[in-house]
Structure 1
């Protein structure tokens, strides 16, 4: 994994985890233990999906930079389908508060995307290879 990938990943994991902790505390106060469980599970789902996707895109961009956009789009489609499957499987569960679960997924996803954009705009990523052949 390249240094920029690590900074991008760290710059997104930390704020998303913080948002998940805030959501968990709010859910505990509003919905009790089931709300807390829903918020924690949602945060774990969002972090797992996006971290795995980011690692896959980083690996592909290192090995085959020409396939990076294709892999990014494919990863995004797979993430959305899997998230839809998770939401479908847990829609009628009594183990945790599903409304808290859904709201936390939405909030954590928005924080992840916003932090990705914020970190990416501050990284100095060369779009040409300075030492490459001309």
Structure 2
């Protein structure tokens, strides 16, 4: 079952709106983390930039996967998105664990930047989602072929004593 071209375009617009609604505020938050890191050391500043880049990459990847799987069955889409989320959390955990004691980066700055940028991304993604007009039904009014709007629902006879 394939979606109509208009629906595909509206889905692309929705994912673009989610990306735009999240990317700019997260980039600003990452820049703020970098500037705050400069007060500590250049190593902290570029570590904060690394943390922000990691968040932007992984969260954008999730939106891309959701966009690519939006036309699949809802259970399949949910399974793929959950697998992507699990992969994202595992890789982020591995990266954070790997970078905690290295001498060439500030583990504290990376961790703080990842936390701040992830919270900002999620907040603004939810805000952008709330502004989308997503219908729970087909707004074009595509009715089923076997029922007319005037037809009464079919009821089975009841056995009454």
TM-score (norm 1): 0.92
Q: What is the aligned partner in structure 2 of residue 4 from structure 1?
A: 14
SS at match of 1:96: coil
Displacement of 1:70 after TM fit?
A: 1.8
Question: For residue 128 of structure 1, what is the aligned residue in structure 2?
Answer: 137
Structure 1 residue ranges, 4+ long, deviating more than 6 angstroms after superposition:
none
| 1:133–1:81 Cα change, 3 Å | farther
Mapped partners of 2:85, 2:123: distance in 1: 16
Residue 18 and residue 114 in structure 1: after superposition, are their counterparts in 2 closer, same or farther (change >3 A)?
A: same
Aligned counterparts of 1:82 and 1:57: Cα–Cα separation in 2? 19
Q: Distance in 1 between matches of 2:27 and 2:115?
A: 14
Q: Which has the higher contact order (CA 8 A, sep 6+)?
A: 1
Alignment counterpart, residue 20 of structure 1, candidates 6, 12, 30: 30
Larger Rg: 2
CA distance in 2 between partners of 1:13 and 1:95 (Å): 27
Higher percent of residues as helix? 1
- Asked whether the equivalents of residues 4 and 125 of structure 1 are also in contact (C-alpha less than 8 Å), the reply is no
Partner residue in 2 for 1:92: 101
Structure 2: how far apart are the matches of 1:79 and 1:116? 17
